[in-house]
Structure 1
Amino acid sequence: MGGYGRSMLDEVIAGTEQVIGTGIAGCTLLLGLAFALATHRHLAQRLGWSRWPTLGALAFGMPIVALTLMPLGPIEPMGVARFRLHHFLVEARHLPWHHFDGLGANAERLANLALYVPAAFFLTVACRRVWPAVLLGPAVSLLAELVQSFDSWRSPDPQDLVHNALGAWIGAVAGLLVTVSRISVERVQSRVYPEADRNLNTFEKGVGGGHQGLDVPGLSGDQHRADHLGRQHALPQRAGVSGGGLLR
């Protein structure tokens, strides 16, 4: 009877730890999303990135952080953690890299791959460079596996690292294709409206210089500004077309 009661108590404690861990992960995700909403505009302006893709990169990066920090059990002693890390490295050395028996047959592998795709995609579109996602994907995944080596109910898996990195690279390639397409469209549009582009530049200089600029008879200063601001909205966005690199 005493053994049965102790077993029941252990199950209750284990279930409580799981509930607490899930709650911590949920709170981390909500706080992360609030942080992304509050800081994405300032971060985009500071780094010279596109605003909405920056928000997407932050928002889809938060589930990765939440799942990594989700505690599913008590922290083990440092010696046990070192042993688990050593076991992870040994498994990585003997991993059959040349063969994976069906990615779609394992839902966990597919989820690990899909987890990193949107964050890498939006990161590439935001900064218009492919190397941050290519490098950060495997680095973040490796950090997550190292963190899991200290959790008693979770263990690092070399195949998770492979699928996370593959997902990040897929997202980076997709973001690269979208970025190249956007830049090509912007360049074509800038060639279609070269005269309007020059008029807009002249008007912008006139506004900055005070009384100089384009002079349209019959329009007051405010009407003149409103007319050209209306033309400005009709022109293509030229951000990133000149002076920017894609793979810098």
Structure 2
Amino acid sequence: MNWNELLRLPTTLLAIAAAVVLLLALIQLVAARQHVRHRRHLAASGHALLLLVFMLLGLFLAGLAVSLRGYRFLSEEAPVVQVDSRILAPQRWALALTWPDGDTRIVMLAGDDFQIEAVVLKWKLPAILAGLPPLYRLDRIAGRYDDATQEMSAPRTVIDFSHAGRGDLLDLKKQYPRWLPGVDTLFGSGAYLPLVDGGHYSVDLMRTGALVARPDEATTQRIGQPLGG
């Protein structure tokens, strides 16, 4: 992952800010100890107070970074993932997923379609006025059957892409809504498309938070043809 991709991760920026603040706390600790040695207790108290403030701020930023693991800043239109499909058997597929930073992963899905979902976070004022963009993270990809009856009884495959784990901002907003007054909305966005052998799909997230899946021209021609046609 290059620096351009890293800087699209709020976790990276918050971790850098936390490190800088904790470094300032360390400087205050050194200064306080020097003042204590020279019996300048009033000056030492001032630095001790700043030490406490910087420590609390650093811990807050670090905690916020942990809660935003897996999220990215949302630009005008953000590429989320590229999907390449290969059929293994009827309604059984191997999908090659390629992220914008070059990372890849192979997943196995059952069904006729792939369905992909993301989580989008939007802010309230004054964060909007400050230009803070929405955040998003890819949540999961699943197989989907065209027949609703088969959907209820056939094997289901769901691949979880959430790297946040416990303490994710989504969970915190649900459990402690009053703790996060600056968060306006947290909502899911999804899209699905039919799978074809040799298919190639681009999944993007619009500024509005809508997830859009698009097949390329060759894939569009294959969609709707009989399997193997």
Query: What TM-score, normalized to structure 1?
Result: 0.27
* Structure with the higher helix share, 1 or 2: 1
TM-score by length of structure 2 reads 0.29
Work out which of the two has the higher radius of gyration on C-alpha atoms and give 1 or 2.
Answer: 1
